[in-house]
Amino acid sequence: MECQNSLFSLPNGQHYLNCAYMSPLLKSVEAAGIAGLKRKAVPACVSPTDFFDPAEELRLAFAQLIHTSAERVALIPAVSYGMGIATHNLPLQAEHNVVIPGEEFPSNVYPWMERCRQTGATLQIINRPQEESTPGKVWNTRFLEAINPNTAVVALSSIHWTDGTLFDLEQIGQRARDVGALFIVDGTQSVGALPFDFEQLKPDLLVCAGYKWLLGPYQYSFAAVGDRLLDGEPFEYNWINRKDSQNFSDLINYQSAYQPGARRFDAGERSNFIMIPMLLAALKQISAWGVDRIQHYCATLGEGLTHMLEGTPYTIAPTHERAAHLFGVRIANAAQIPAILEELRRRDVYVSQRSASIRVSPHVYNTQADISALAEALRAAALRAAVG
């Protein structure tokens, strides 16, 4: 794959290596949003089918991206909303435990903290190993060992959001099923940039925000629901997820039955006439590129960074332990990171601090020049810190 920068509206000279924070918009996505805005400005142009058909097209596009059926996909506003599908339907008890990684993203922590508080269950946090030559391998081993017959839920990100550590989802999911625990994955930081096969991994719930690696707008997300939750009780009772809601002339013929599959979990007002066309345009472009090619492009970009940082205080995890599209650059004294980021911003290089990691997240709009600019800025920041 060649660089796709021309398809975006990023400023010339800006080194934006921060897609894990928020993706820029493709020009096609921006155009779709403007067209949707103009259409909404003239409501007579909006027909009853517009509440349903575009949503179904979007549902199918996401299902194809993760290799599952559209019947499993719900349209939701946020990861926290999707986690509610599980917390609302899980009969957690005091003898149970919920296993999550340390420093997990809050939207996959607070729901379990609250359910554990309500029920007396134990929230078991498996922290990132320190001072290990292969921290990812050790972390995966400890995570698997923590899952036991009292485990009711195993919930984790597909890769760690702070530094891209790869979790062995296949083994972890199998272990969860072996003990009868729900297996819940937050795919926000990988789906769209790293291949994900729902049918192979068999999570009970996959939740994914749309504004990062799906290149879409903010406040639109997806949930893919496995068999054990598919007939669960939604926690929002809106009109559009009920049977025959397409019949606008008979909406007061109230229904107890839901729309088929995961549609019962769709959020109210899911038929957003602006955001759905935007996200659909983004998913079509991702599909055209191919997720595996996106990952390979990012791997090619980052392969020289370790060499560029030789002789500096920075370290990067080995490539087999992390994703290529999101990885952490670490320094022994994490207190220096804010000053390092300030130096990077002065040079128009954009990354993030997440915990004790400088998180770097390139995409297909980046070039080797962006990686070189990052390396130069990191070296300059280290030199400034050493002198100062």
Same domain, 237 and 122: yes
Model confidence band, residue 131 (pLDDT cutoffs 50, 70, 90)? confident
Same domain, 147 and 277: yes
- What are the Cα distances from residue 161, in Å, to 107, 223, 355, 358? 12, 18, 10, 11
Residue 387, pLDDT score: 58
Same domain, 179 and 148: yes
CB of 323 closer than 8 Å to CB of 296 = no
Phi, psi (degrees; rounded to nearest 5) at 193 = -125, -15
Mean pLDDT in residue range 5-14: 97
Model confidence band, residue 235 (pLDDT cutoffs 50, 70, 90)? confident
Same domain, 251 and 338: no
Please report the sign of the dihedral spanned by the C-alpha atoms of residue 190, residue 191, residue 195, residue 199.
Answer: positive
Mean pLDDT in residue range 301-319: 92
Mean pLDDT in residue range 55-70: 98
Model confidence band, residue 388 (pLDDT cutoffs 50, 70, 90)? low
Say yes or no to pLDDT of 285 above 90. Answer: yes
Pick the range with the lowest mean pLDDT from 40-49, 64-73, 95-104, 200-209: 40-49
Alpha helices in the chain (DSSP H): 27-40, 53-65, 79-89, 110-119, 135-146, 169-178, 198-201, 227-230, 275-289, 291-302, 305-308, 337-346, 368-387
CA 164, CA 190: separation in Å to the nearest integer?
Answer: 9
Same domain, 161 and 307: no
Residue 134, pLDDT score: 81
Same domain, 248 and 326: no
Residue 81, pLDDT score: 96
Of 235 and 101, the one with more pLDDT:
101
8 Cβ contact partners less than 8 Å away, ≥ 6 residues apart: 24, 25, 26, 27, 365
Domain of 81, CATH number, reads 3.40.640.10
Counting the structural domains of the chain, the total is 2
Same domain, 119 and 255: yes
Residue 133, pLDDT score: 74
CA 89, CA 250: separation in Å to the nearest integer?
Answer: 30
237 Cβ contact partners less than 8 Å away, ≥ 6 residues apart: none
Mean pLDDT in residue range 346-359: 96
Among 267, 287, 307, which residue terminates a domain? Answer: 287
Burial 321-350 (b: 16+ CB within 10 A, else e): bbbbbbbbbbbeeeebbeebbebbeeeebb
Among 287, 319, 341, which residue terminates a domain? Answer: 287
Domain of 346, CATH number, reads 3.90.1150.10
Residue 341, pLDDT score: 96
The residue segments making up the domain with residue 129 are 29-287
Say yes or no to pLDDT of 386 above 80. Answer: no
In this predicted model, what pLDDT tens digit does every residue of 157-181 receive, in sequence order? 999 999 999 999 999 999 999 999 9
Q: Which two tokens mark 143?
A: 């995570």
Among 253, 287, 321, which residue terminates a domain? Answer: 287
Same domain, 171 and 264: yes
Mean pLDDT in residue range 69-77: 98
Mapping DSSP to helix (H, G, I), strand (E, B) and coil, where does residue 283 land? Answer: helix
In this predicted model, what pLDDT tens digit does every residue of 319-329 receive, in sequence order? 999 999 999 99
pTM for this prediction:
0.96
Same domain, 194 and 323: no
Same domain, 360 and 232: no
Same domain, 121 and 103: yes
Same domain, 276 and 300: no
Q: Which two tokens mark 136?
A: 């990812």
Model confidence band, residue 152 (pLDDT cutoffs 50, 70, 90)? very high
